[in-house]
Amino acid sequence: MNFTLYLSKALSLSLSLSLRVIETFGDLMSLVTLTHHGRILGLSLNNPPVNSLGLALRHVLYEALQAAFANPEIDAVLLTGSAKVFSGGADITEFDKPQARAEPGLMTLINLIEAAPKIVVAGIEGTCMGGGFELALACHYRVCSTAASVALPEIKLGLIPGAGGTQKLPRLIDLEAAFNFMLKGEPVKGAELARMGVVDHLIEGEFVQGAFDFTALLVAQDKPLTRIRDRKVDYPNHQAFLDFAKNTVKTTAPHYPAPLALIESLEAACTLPFEDGMKAERKLFIDLMGTPQCKAMRHAFFAERSSSKIPDVADDTPTRPIQAVGVVGAGTMGGGIAMNFLNAGIAVKLIDTQQAMLDKGVATIRKNYENTLKKGKLSQADLDQRMALLSSTLDFKDLGDVDMAIEAVFEDMGVKEKVFHQLDAVLKPGAILATNTSTLDVNRIALTTKRASDVIGTHFFSPANVMKLLEVVRGDKTAKDVLATVMKLAKTIKKTAVVSGVCDGFIGNRMLEHYVRMSVLLVEEGASPAQVDQALEKWGMVMGPFRMNDLAGNDIGWAIRKRRYVEKPQVIYSRLADAICEAGRFGQKTGLGWYRYESGSRKALVDPVVTDIIDQYRKAQSIAPKKFTDAEIVERTIYALINEGARIVEEGMAMRASDVDVVYLTGYGFPVFRGGPMKYADEVGLFQVCASMKRFHEASHDDFWQPAALLQACLVNSKSLT
């Protein structure tokens, strides 16, 4: 017989504390649902959306478990979650709050289960992460569904599992497999979990019934209360493996302390009694919590979550349905943008001015999918399904039924205005008109239509089907529901969206301009492009500025600078970058740029011709080259990002400093262990950051180096930026 009881029933089985719990937690009694199958009690976590192990749930679960253990009519307990999620682990809203440390803590629950007088089985159907999995590891047996998805993802926050994961997993499965599982932090699916020995039984049919049947069988066969903690790590010559692992992570992840801590903790599991290993894990966990890398990674995690929140747009703002999208311009960006929607099952109509352009665009999309298919990451059926959602046309009238049109034509105001005029004429009422412009004024584009409130900027990054960042540009007249719709759509197409106001370059490129400007000035003054790149790459940037410019095309920056020389003559640029372009060195696409590239290779090779161009330029400008340390290079370039980022926040072009960090982390290869430029400024200390900026100002008379008002205000008020 199946029936659900509220906790009050469970508490009536318990002898103590029940009233206090009800008083303390009010109406939270339904956090655990009880189901009786004969003499087996099902305890199902019921704390949507992800069954996070917050204080209230921990309390209720503790009481329910105690009651079950004390009840002579119960032989075994089956602990489950919902069909979608067993438990997502710790409640992240409790991070850094007293609730996180309040009893009963996760370890108390784990200890309670491990001391249980009767069998406890974990039934994992759906997602099971972090602390949720550590709870399952405390159980005597584990079963899972084929759809189960289990991970210990702490490494992604700069941590290691802290509730026994590192001590128990190597006692349960192969040491090497346990190491890789925790080092990657990626979810592993049901069948693989069974193969690895993480679970005792894989249920392929109806899950809950199967889990109860399995538990009943254990009871019937009088199976022992097996505890992982009582086992020993069984791995021949563990020390050789751990030494090898140590050397590997030292070279592959030199900036991250967590992988080394993980190995140390695994070493403790191999060599120490269980309780001592637990103490070692705890200490390593706490030490990691205090590292700047962990703080930065946690900041990055929360920053990304908060970037979708817009203070003046309520979460429940109604959104417009988007089932079909028109993409105008079948070039580099248009094709990539289209793929995002096709991947998400949204129909796309591609439009261009000539059939040849359309054919090329469609062929590129197909080729991209075929490459993914060859790598085994896409099935033929998926490829066919995606291509079937794609159609193309030369006639704007065919866009009459799309819910949104995204323009990705040439970066020219005249061309864009014409396209928006055409879109305005054919799109149905309520359709959203978006532009992918990188530099043009979205407000001006909006005013070419009779529906400026339906116009918005969607600034994708190249390659648009790969890069996670999407800058959503909010025009002066953009309607709130248009903004809410696009933010929701960004989630559907798996982008990280950050809202930017209308300004030149929006958030990312506006900051980048000064970063690149300072990089070229450093070379003018005496550094080499390779030294600047290497200093920044050693510091953690995925790619130095000169390699990046060679990849993006030096001609793009050149065109922008020519405009700047007229519009903003006060900004100090080195003309060295122009000399590189004047020599026809546009980067990888011409085989020559700041470096030279051999045919078919992306490897940047130092070119004596560039060294010569630089020498001649310095001579012509009477510049005596100076020597720079790597630290000086990092300061000058990264502080440029900080100053412009702070100005962007101060002007309200970014909603919060952490949004600036998200832009740099997801779109510009900024190292996650440094948390983004704003977080890094806080980590260095604003006093020191401002002092260096003032020093740069004195030396260069470049007004850019006046510290942003926001930095000075935070400094004076002892506040942090993030």
Among 174, 176, 411, 632, which residue interacts with ligand NAD (rule: CB under 6 A)? 411
Q: Which is nearer to ligand NAD, 252 or 355 (CB)?
A: 355
Tell me which residue of 636, 685, 693 sits closest to 709, measured CA to CA. Answer: 693
Q: How far is the CB of 604 from ligand NAD (least distance, A)?
A: 19
Among 437, 549, 574, 588, which residue interacts with ligand NAD (rule: CB under 6 A)? 437
Q: Which is nearer to ligand NAD, 408 or 642 (CB)?
A: 408
Is there a contact between 524 and 618 (Cβ–Cβ < 8 Å)?
A: yes
Stretch that binds ligand NAD, among 181-189, 198-206, 332-340, 694-702 (CB under 6 A): 332-340
Dist CA 398 CA 22 (whole Å):
62
Catalytic residue among 63, 134, 304, 525: 134
Is there a contact between 393 and 351 (Cβ–Cβ < 8 Å)?
A: yes
**Which residues make beta-bridge pairs with 605?**
596
Stretch that binds ligand NAD, among 398-406, 423-431, 432-440, 634-642 (CB under 6 A): 432-440
Q: Does 557 bind ligand NAD (CB under 6 A)?
A: no
Instruction: Please count the residues of this chain forming the interface with ligand NAD, following the rule CB under 6 A.
Output: 23
Question: Letter for the amino acid at 431?
Answer: A
Q: DSSP string covering 174-211, please?
A: -HHHHHHHHHH---EEHHHHHHHTSSSEEE-S-HHHHH
Phi, psi of 309 (to 5 degrees): -90, 125
- Radius of gyration (Cα) for the chain, nearest Å? 29
Q: Which is nearer to ligand NAD, 86 or 396 (CB)?
A: 396
CA distances from 566 to 11, 216, 521 (A): 77, 81, 20
Q: Which is nearer to ligand NAD, 151 or 464 (CB)?
A: 464
Task: Copy the structure tokens of residue 677.
Answer: 């430029």
Q: Does 393 bind ligand NAD (CB under 6 A)?
A: no
Tell whether the torsion through CA atoms of 339, 341, 342 and 344 is positive or negative: positive
Half-sphere exposure of 713 (CA within 13 A, CB side): 9
Q: How far is the CB of 367 from ligand NAD (least distance, A)?
A: 15
Q: How far is the CB of 354 from ligand NAD (least distance, A)?
A: 7
Stretch that binds ligand NAD, among 202-210, 283-291, 323-331, 541-549 (CB under 6 A): 323-331
State the DSSP H helix or E strand holding residue 373, giving kind and residue range, or none if neither. Answer: helix 355-374
Among 106, 296, 357, 389, which residue interacts with ligand NAD (rule: CB under 6 A)? 357
Using CB positions, name the residue nearest to ligand NAD: 331
Q: Does 438 bind ligand NAD (CB under 6 A)?
A: yes
Q: Does 415 bind ligand NAD (CB under 6 A)?
A: yes
Q: Does 436 bind ligand NAD (CB under 6 A)?
A: yes
Stretch that binds ligand NAD, among 104-112, 210-218, 292-300, 413-421 (CB under 6 A): 413-421
Q: Which is nearer to ligand NAD, 467 or 572 (CB)?
A: 467
Q: DSSP string covering 647-664, please?
A: HHHHTTSBSSHHHHHHHH
Sheet holding 32-37, edge to edge: 4-5, 32-37, 40-45, 76-80, 119-124, 141-145, 201-203
Stretch that binds ligand NAD, among 1-9, 51-59, 370-378, 433-441 (CB under 6 A): 433-441
Q: Tell me how far the alpha carbon of residue 573 is from its chain's centroid.
A: 34
Question: Letter for the amino acid at 32?
Answer: V
Considering only residues 138 to 177 of the shown chain, the ones binding ligand NAD according to CB under 6 A are none
Q: Which is nearer to ligand NAD, 247 or 354 (CB)?
A: 354
Is there a contact between 464 and 340 (Cβ–Cβ < 8 Å)?
A: yes
Catalytic residue among 114, 154, 304, 644: 154
Q: DSSP string covering 226-240, please?
A: --GGGS----TTHHH
Task: Copy the structure tokens of residue 18.
Answer: 């029940």
Among 317, 353, 368, 391, which residue interacts with ligand NAD (rule: CB under 6 A)? 353
Q: Is the bond leading into 104 cis (omega within 30 degrees of zero)?
A: yes
CA distances from 397 to 393, 418, 446, 466 (A): 9, 15, 20, 30
Question: Cβ–Cβ contacts within 10 Å for residue 71, how many?
Answer: 16
Is there a contact between 459 and 306 (Cβ–Cβ < 8 Å)?
A: no
Q: Which is nearer to ligand NAD, 192 or 411 (CB)?
A: 411
Is there a contact between 522 and 594 (Cβ–Cβ < 8 Å)?
A: no
Count of residues in the chain: 722
Tell me which residue of 432, 408, 392 sits closest to 328, measured CA to CA. Answer: 408
Task: Copy the structure tokens of residue 410.
Answer: 């040439």
Q: How far is the CB of 337 from ligand NAD (least distance, A)?
A: 9
Q: Does 462 bind ligand NAD (CB under 6 A)?
A: yes
Q: Does 408 bind ligand NAD (CB under 6 A)?
A: yes
Q: Which residue has the tokens 């019937």?
A: 220
Among 419, 473, 484, 490, which residue interacts with ligand NAD (rule: CB under 6 A)? 419
Is there a contact between 362 and 389 (Cβ–Cβ < 8 Å)?
A: no
Q: Which is nearer to ligand NAD, 122 or 469 (CB)?
A: 469
Q: Does 505 bind ligand NAD (CB under 6 A)?
A: no
Stretch that binds ligand NAD, among 157-165, 171-179, 206-214, 409-417 (CB under 6 A): 409-417
Q: Which residue has the tokens 């817009």?
A: 310
Among 333, 486, 489, 530, which residue interacts with ligand NAD (rule: CB under 6 A)? 333
Tell me which residue of 121, 120, 64, 57 sits closest to 90, measured CA to CA. Answer: 57
Among 8, 209, 370, 410, which residue interacts with ligand NAD (rule: CB under 6 A)? 410
Stretch that binds ligand NAD, among 261-269, 384-392, 415-423, 563-571 (CB under 6 A): 415-423
Tell me which residue of 114, 112, 93 sits closest to 104, measured CA to CA. Answer: 112
Q: Does 258 bind ligand NAD (CB under 6 A)?
A: no
Q: Which is nearer to ligand NAD, 10 or 339 (CB)?
A: 339
Q: How far is the CB of 411 from ligand NAD (least distance, A)?
A: 4
Q: How far is the CB of 464 from ligand NAD (least distance, A)?
A: 7
Among 332, 368, 391, 712, which residue interacts with ligand NAD (rule: CB under 6 A)? 332
Q: How far is the CB of 552 from ligand NAD (least distance, A)?
A: 6
Active site residue 134: yes
Among 105, 292, 331, 526, which residue interacts with ligand NAD (rule: CB under 6 A)? 331
Q: Does 351 bind ligand NAD (CB under 6 A)?
A: yes
Q: Does 112 bind ligand NAD (CB under 6 A)?
A: no
Q: Which is nearer to ligand NAD, 387 or 415 (CB)?
A: 415
Q: Does 363 bind ligand NAD (CB under 6 A)?
A: no
Active site residue 94: no
State the DSSP H helix or E strand holding residue 76, giving kind and residue range, or none if neither. Answer: strand 76-80
Binding residues (CB under 6 A) for ligand NAD: these are 328-334, 351-353, 357, 408-411, 415, 418-419, 436-438, 460, 462
Catalytic residues: 134, 154
